[in-house]
Structure 1
Amino acid sequence: MTATTASSAPTWGSMTRSRLVVELKEFLRSREQMVFIFFFPMMLLVLFGSVFGGQEIAPGVTFAAYFLPGMVASGILNTGFQSLAMSIAIDRDEDVLKRIHGTPLPPTAFFAAKVAQVVVVSVVQVVALVAIGVVMYDATLPSGSGWWTFTWVFLLGTAASTTLGIAMSSLLRNAKAGSAIITPIVLFLQFTSGVFLVYTQIPTFLQHVAAIFPLKWLAQGMRSVFLPESFESAEVNGSWQHPATAIVLTIWVIVGLVLAVRTFRWTRHDDN
């Protein structure tokens, strides 16, 4: 009897998969998240590409081509940082996290499912954005080592965004204030990190500020994947700065992880 019970007990992997299914279903049922994560970035890509897409910012590189990797990077940040922080804050306010914490589900399985959900959604989002770029603006897919660069930049960027999103969720006093706090942060980073504007045309002091945060490096890493090698000379310092990109993103992964572990709470701030 004991052996049968032990063998039928759920494993960590099975609980993580079950929780991932729940996370994906909740995401698909949320119209606000679907619009924000999928349709809004695609709309911006089509809008900016249609209005400014034909303008050349360097020989053989149009604004639409430059805008695509920035939107890919921004999409990763939005999914892992902004959307995740807001969804966790809402779950905390509604005591969903409190109830989950009272179940046999291990915390590590819960967070693993959250991370997996972000990765799945980010992959779908990137595929959609790149498809629009290829079909409408003649964007070029990476080849050879470009795919390896894309992989490590994507994974490090997703890890940094996700850990920072979990950490930020605990810093929000309540979900209602979340949008007012997080949205200005994301917009500031988008305008100063080479997403909506060409990075080298931004005032130098803002470049230095943006270089502290992960989005600038995530966007630059994606430009190295989707733009021709000739554009490297037009970047700051005339280089893609891959080693610096890996170092800065790794530092932010560690910072986000430490903050998430030290600050995460399962209950509301006013719940004693």
Structure 2
Amino acid sequence: MSATTTSRADARAITHRPLGAVAASRVGYEVKSYFRSLDTVFFTFLFPLIMLSIFSAAFSSSGDITAGPDGEGISVAAYYLPGMLAAGMLLSGVQNLAVDIAMEKSDGTLKRLGGTPLSPTAYFLGKMGQVFVTGIAQAALLLVVAVVVLDISLPTEASSWLTFAWVFVLGVITSALLGIALSALPRSGRSATAVVVPILLILQFISGVYLQFYALPEWMQNIASIFPLKWMAQGMRAVFLPEEFAALEQNGVWDLGAVGIALLVWLVIGVVVSRITFRWIRRDA
């Protein structure tokens, strides 16, 4: 059988496979590719864990953090854990996909995929599935290290873990969609990291990941409130910090309803922008 005949047979096989099967196959492929890229693993998967360890080692000598003079104190590591979980969602979704898809546009991968029966839906489901798999593994690793190495006490209430679940799922989906949308911004794969990373780094500094959010000036808090990372971090703080720490939030409450609304709004923005901007082939090609 000739190579052309084999390719046509493979194409027909892909065409007739259910979307779920094709998407699952793409998820497996994307996850393997992700963990084979050591720089991606370091700067997206392990980076929040590394930063949590550094913050804990650097600032633990300053004592516990409290919400007030008579409030319950928590360790520096316990305070920064929610922010690092939120940063993990952002990095796994936005940074990873924005850079990865921009690279695939630039090196011709998307052009080649466009000539196959693989649908954009299956392609995106593969990308989003990869973000879910790596995001869950990353969060699990952070929590295990938090308990075993950093001696952080995790919530015991079922309601707290329910909040964690919906904030995590909504945050990961939103981050993945925004990553797909942001991939249209770099003009080439070579410039993708230089374009994407500074944007996300600034967001992490103003959204309560690397700096204590309550200590930031109000104008900076207002700017951060426009973007989803602030709300993901706030939702995670509602899960892992004592109730009295809600007084340090911008409005003095956890405001989980606003967290959900903000993430849903950004989810819709991600869907719309991705739908408008995504092409198998770069517009300037």
Shorter-chain TM-score category? over 0.9
CA offset at residue 212 of structure 1? 0.4
Distance 2:92 2:284 in 1: 27
Q: For 2:140 and 2:177, how far apart are their aligned partners in 1?
A: 23
Equivalent residue number for residue 47 of structure 1: 54
Shift of 1:15: 0.9
Asked if 1:258 corresponds to 2:266, the answer is no
Partner secondary structure for residue 65 of structure 2 = strand
Structure 2: tracts of 5 or more residues without a match: 1-11, 67-71
Q: For residue 213 of structure 2, what is the aligned residue in structure 1?
A: 199
CA distance in 1, matches of 2:45, 2:181: 24
Give distance in 2, aligned partners of 1:87 and 1:94. Answer: 11
- Contact conserved, 1:140 with 1:227, CA < 8 A, in 2? no
Scaled by the length of structure 1, what TM-score is found?
0.93
Aligned to 1:9: 16
- Residue number among 151, 165, 173 corresponding to 1:138 in the alignment: 151
Distance in 1 between residues matched to 2:114 and 2:27, nearest whole Å: 16
| TM-score between both structures, scaled by the size of structure 2 | 0.89
Is 1:57 aligned to 2:89, yes or no? no
Structure 1 unaligned runs (5+)? Answer: none
Residue 37 of structure 1 and its aligned partner are, at CA, apart by 2.0
| Superposition deviation, residue 13 in structure 1 | 1.2
Give 2:7's aligned residue. Answer: none
Q: Is 1:113 matched up with 2:120? A: no
CA contact (8 A) 1:194 1:216 kept: yes
Alignment RMSD (CA, Å): 1.6
Mapped pair 1:21 → 2:34: no
Q: Percent identity?
A: 45
Listed one character per residue, the Cα deviations across residues 215-256 of structure 1 (whole Å, up to 9, x for unaligned) are 000001001111122222232222101000000010000011
CA distance in 1, matches of 2:284, 2:45: 34
Q: Who is 2:188 aligned against?
A: 174
1:77 aligns with: 90
Q: Which amino acid aligns with 1:174?
A: S
Q: What is the one-letter code of the residue matched to 2:93?
A: G
In structure 2, the residue matched to 1:94 is: 107
Q: Distance in 1 between matches of 2:153 and 2:173?
A: 26
Encode CA deviations 1:158-205: one digit per residue, 9 max, x unaligned.
111111100110121111111111111111111111111110001111
Query: Which has the larger displacement, 212-221 or 15-24?
Result: 15-24
CA distance in 2, matches of 1:188, 1:37: 16
